[in-house]
């Protein structure tokens, strides 16, 4: 499989090939956090999978799990050029170029097409999903007949016949015309009863002369369309603009009224005005979050691609929703929220858009009752977060997956039942956000309650082994989802220990510094000293599976006694296939040393300061060859840990592997790998730039790959923007003008202080570099 073509700011498709249509639809997705629209072509092809997904509009069909419904396709345009339908499968493509401009958030397509009858037409398509106004979308097509004159029919649809792979989530409510050149469609989700209104207005114009247009609106089953018909002259350019507005009953009381009003306002100012506002808004986003690299073009593009899509996938103000595993780019994982958000995506927002990070974490607070209900249903106390979450926080993980190659039967998905580490992952994210921002209001109003309720869950979940005088957690799945029903997964146990430690730390902090808040929490949660004492006992006695002689943290009890199938792992990697396509599921999940993704290595990244370099290397030597990376979450984490061990070649190899996940043709048809994109940002900032938090201070241990000469990025640390410029020889920090107090930071165990208005440069060659 080959990489996509690109430059520093653009992803380029220069050949029309229906084999890769769905892949390009995914990576060309445009969105604004409120909604996302896949990069489907305007004309219809059977190989296409159009999709527009509006965050939070979950619905449940009978006998299925809750999912994010695919709303009406607003892109659909049929062109008839002098009696022939525009269809790239017919006639001849003389020229083709489609590109996504990441800097502007604009998707364009330029085509020169010769029809079966020999008529040549130049067409230029352009679209945006506004980040300046989340409800507005725009699409225009410029049509130039090159060797003929004739009638052109421009038919624009709002197509509600779209489904989620055959599941129809909508009731057709209302569809009608707006004046002569507009249409609207109202749908209602069947179970959740959310109304969704789409309204479109059109403007057809010619630059050369006045234009007589025959306007016509009509309806069909679950669709409504507008058609503009006019006579075109050879070498004259005709522009057809389509402006769309979308509202739901989650936003306003009357979405139809708001959508119609909004689109009527939009057509008055026109496509170009709205597109320019959108481009200006993107310029501000890039000023805040860009990473500038002096290095290979693909590396720079991949970093920006990840930032671009992360910015598109997060709603910065709606705390009822979070980032889904496929963001708003496809039907994969049904729009559900996983641990991906807290561990992989959230760090980008913590250090670039802390207010957005707070909104994402408040989703967990707003679904805390769902987590409490899951704990109660399972016989526990406190809050147990769902492995897959949607609107309410209740468990939405499907029970069955693909077929086992040996039995031919569906494979049972146990993640929703026993992949419990997500509860500690949420607690980790709460503490991470608080450390980086110092947001006392969040801690007092939301964060502390989550830390306490998750700690309470773990205290009820652990099992006391009287013979060993220790607490254990049995029958779980760790991050490595190829190992099911294991006992004392070291990732889970150490993250539980972290959860309990930080809950107790916050208890002490609030009791000493804000007793009123603490007393309210005690009253609300009915906490007492006996319970807190129990948490401390569990923290001290939870079993951590560690071999002192080998300096090895063992993934779970019995791992070293499992069968070695490294030959099959190697074969699967060489063939580029997932391991379950080669080895029966029972063998993988119950009998072998095979890892789907980083597990102990993941732990040694998140809790890096708890492990020595020797311990990281020992774990790497055992687990890395056995890891399939069948999860896209894995390569970026391996890249970071490889940097920490001083293996820069491995680190860069894994960075490139992560960078290619969505930017290699094939494999992203169901949607973006959102967590991988977040991981890519971490591999640059936390890996090669070596930025970490240590005891409330920033630390940098920078090491650039051989073909990277310079790296520049900025972060927000406790409300202050810091600009970091890194070369092979130096690290320069400077703060924005709002720095009022000094900032302490470390570079390779050397302490420094950055003062207001200061730009501090550290010559790396003069330091004693110690990887730790």
Question: Each residue of 487-506: pLDDT tens digit?
Answer: 999 999 999 999 999 999 99
Q: How far apart are CA 649 and CA 657, in angstroms?
A: 12
Q: Is the pLDDT of residue 477 over 50?
A: yes
Q: Give the pLDDT score at 757.
A: 85
> What letter does residue 581 receive in the DSSP assignment?
G
* 239 Cβ contact partners less than 8 Å away, ≥ 6 residues apart: 140, 141, 142, 143, 204, 205, 206, 207
Cα 110 to Cα 570: distance, rounded to the nearest angstrom: 43
Tens-place pLDDT, residues 98-156: 999 999 999 999 999 999 999 999 999 999 999 999 999 999 999 999 999 999 999 99
pTM value surpassing 0.95 = yes
Q: Does 37 score more than 70 pLDDT? A: yes
118 DSSP assignment: S
340 is in an annotated binding site: yes
Which pLDDT tens digit goes with each residue over 417-428? 999 999 999 999
> Rounded distance, CA 281 to CA 136, Å?
14
Q: Which residue has the tokens 């930032």?
A: 307
Cα–Cα distance for residue pair 555/761, rounded to 1 Å: 42
Predicted confidence band of residue 461 (pLDDT cuts 50, 70, 90): very high
What's the confidence (pLDDT) of residue 769?
57
Q: How far apart are CA 459 and CA 530, in angstroms?
A: 12
34, 315 Cβ separation under 8 angstroms: yes
Kindly tell me if the per-residue pLDDT of 591 is higher than 90.
yes
> What pLDDT score was predicted for residue 770?
47
Angle ∠(494,496,500) on CA atoms, nearest 5: 115
Residue 210 to residue 193: CA distance in whole angstroms: 46
**CA dihedral over 325, 328, 330, 336, signed as positive or negative:** positive
Instruction: Answer for the pair 183, 256: CB distance below 8 angstroms, yes or no.
Output: no
Q: Which overall architecture, per CATH, does domain 353-544 show?
A: Alpha/alpha barrel (1.50)
What fold characterizes domain 5-283?
Beta-galactosidase; Chain A, domain 5 (2.70.98)
What confidence score (pLDDT) does residue 394 get? 95
- pLDDT, tens digit (0-9, with 9 covering 90-100), for 745-766: 999 989 999 998 899 999 998 8
91 Rama sector, left if φ>0, alpha if ψ -120 to 50, beta otherwise: left
Known binding residue 384? Answer is no
Active site residue 481: yes
| Cβ pair 429, 346 in contact under 8 A | yes
Distance from C-alpha of 494 to C-alpha of 481, rounded to nearest angstrom: 18
pLDDT averaged over every residue in the chain: 96
Residue 339 annotated in ligand binding: yes
What is the pLDDT, as a whole number, of residue 207?
80
In the set 395, 481, 484, 624, the catalytic residue is 481
Residue 67 has pLDDT above 80, yes or no: yes
What sign does the dihedral 637-291-302-67 (CA atoms) show?
positive
Domain ranges in the chain? Answer: 5-283, 353-544
Residues 183-224 have pLDDT tens digits of 999 999 999 999 999 999 999 999 866 799 999 999 999 999
Question: Which two tokens mark 672?
Answer: 């973006």
Residue 768 has pLDDT above 70, yes or no: no
What separation, in Å, do the N-terminal and C-terminal C-alpha atoms of the chain show?
Answer: 37
Q: Does 708 count as an annotated binding residue?
A: no
Question: Could you tell me which residues are beta bridge partners of residue 467?
Answer: none
CA distances from 750 to 269, 611, 700, 747, 766 (A): 57, 20, 10, 5, 11
Tokens of 741: 């107090």
Residue with tokens 């496809």: 330
């Amino acid at each position: 499989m080959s990489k996509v073509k690109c430059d520093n700011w653009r992803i380029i498709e220069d050949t029309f090939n229906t084999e890769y249509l769905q892949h390009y639809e995914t990576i060309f997705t445009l969105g604004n956090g409120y909604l996302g629209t896949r990069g489907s072509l305007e004309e219809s092809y059977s190989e296409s999978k159009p999709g527009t997904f509006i965050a939070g509009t979950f619905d449940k069909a009978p006998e299925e799990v809750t999912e994010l419904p695919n709303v009406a396709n607003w892109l659909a345009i049929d062109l008839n050029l002098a009696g022939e339908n525009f269809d790239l499968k017919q006639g001849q493509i003389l020229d083709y170029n489609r590109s996504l401009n990441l800097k502007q958030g604009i998707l364009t397509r330029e085509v020169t097409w010769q029809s079966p009858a020999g008529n040549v037409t130049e067409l230029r398509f352009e679209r945006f999903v506004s980040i300046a106004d989340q409800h507005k979308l725009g699409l225009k097509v410029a049509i130039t007949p090159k060797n003929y004159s004739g009638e052109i029919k421009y038919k624009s649809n709002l197509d509600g016949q779209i489904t989620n792979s055959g599941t129809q989530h909508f009731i057709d409510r209302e569809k009608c015309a707006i004046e002569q050149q507009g249409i609207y469609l109202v749908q209602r989700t069947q179970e959740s009863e959310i109304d969704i209104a789409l309204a479109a207005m059109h403007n057809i114009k010619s630059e050369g002369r006045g234009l007589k247009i025959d306007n016509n609106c009509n309806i069909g089953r679950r669709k409504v369309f507008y058609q503009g018909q006019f006579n075109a002259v050879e070498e004259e350019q005709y522009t057809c603009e389509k402006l769309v507005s979308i509202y739901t009953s989650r936003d306003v009381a009357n979405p139809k009224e708001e959508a119609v009003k909004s689109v009527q306002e939009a057509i008055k100012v026109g496509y170009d005005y709205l597109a320019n506002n959108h481009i200006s808004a993107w310029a501000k986003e890039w000023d805040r979050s860009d990473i500038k690299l002096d290095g290979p073009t693909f590396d720079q593009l991949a970093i920006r691609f990840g930032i671009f899509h992360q910015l598109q996938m997060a709603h910065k103000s709606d705390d009822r929703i979070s980032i889904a595993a496929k963001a708003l780019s496809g039907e994969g994982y049904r729009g559900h929220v996983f641990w991906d958000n807290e561990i992989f995506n959230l760090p980008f927002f913590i250090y670039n858009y802390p207010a957005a990070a707070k909104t994402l974490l408040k989703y967990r607070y707003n679904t805390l009752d769902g987590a409490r209900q899951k704990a109660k249903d399972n016989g526990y106390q406190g809050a147990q977060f769902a492995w897959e979450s949607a609107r309410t926080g209740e468990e939405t993980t499907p029970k069955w997956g693909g077929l086992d190659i040996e039995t031919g039967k569906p494979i049972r998905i146990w993640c929703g039942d026993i992949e419990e580490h997500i509860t500690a992952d949420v607690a980790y994210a709460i503490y991470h956000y608080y450390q980086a921002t110092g947001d006392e209001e969040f801690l007092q109003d939301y964060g502390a309650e989550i830390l306490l309720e998750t700690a309470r869950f773990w205290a009820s979940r652990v099992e006391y082994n009287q013979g060993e005088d220790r607490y254990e957690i049995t029958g779980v799945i760790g991050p490595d989802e190829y190992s099911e029903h294991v006992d004392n997964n070291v990732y889970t146990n150490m993250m539980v220990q972290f959860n309990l430690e930080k809950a107790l730390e916050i208890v002490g902090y609030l009791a000493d510094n804000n007793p009123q808040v603490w007393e309210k929490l005690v009253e609300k949660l009915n906490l007492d000293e006996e319970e807190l004492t129990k948490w401390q006992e569990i923290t001290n006695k939870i079993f951590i599976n560690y071999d002192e002689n080998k300096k090895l943290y063992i993934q779970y009890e019995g791992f070293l006694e499992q069968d070695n199938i490294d030959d099959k792992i190697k074969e699967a990697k060489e063939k580029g296939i997932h391991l379950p396509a080669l080895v029966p599921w029972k063998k993988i999940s119950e009998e072998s040393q095979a890892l789907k993704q980083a597990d102990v290595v993941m732990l040694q990244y998140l809790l890096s300061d708890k492990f020595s370099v020797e311990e990281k290397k020992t774990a790497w030597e055992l687990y890395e060859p056995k890891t399939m990376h069948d999860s896209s979450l894995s390569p970026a984490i391996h890249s970071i840990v490889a940097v920490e061990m001083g293996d820069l070649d491995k680190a860069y190899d894994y960075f490139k592997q992560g960078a290619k996940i969505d930017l290699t043709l094939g494999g992203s048809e169901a949607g973006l790998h959102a967590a991988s994109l977040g991981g890519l940002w971490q591999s640059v900032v936390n890996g090669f730039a070596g930025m970490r938090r240590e005891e409330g201070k920033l630390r940098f241990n920078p090491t650039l790959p051989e073909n990277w000469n310079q790296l520049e990025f900025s972060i927000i640390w406790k409300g202050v923007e810091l600009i970091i410029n890194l070369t092979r020889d130096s690290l320069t920090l400077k703060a924005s003008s709002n720095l009022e107090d000094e900032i302490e930071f470390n570079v390779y165990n050397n302490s420094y202080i950055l003062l207001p208005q200061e730009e501090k440069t550290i010559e790396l060659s003069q330091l004693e570099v110690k990887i730790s």
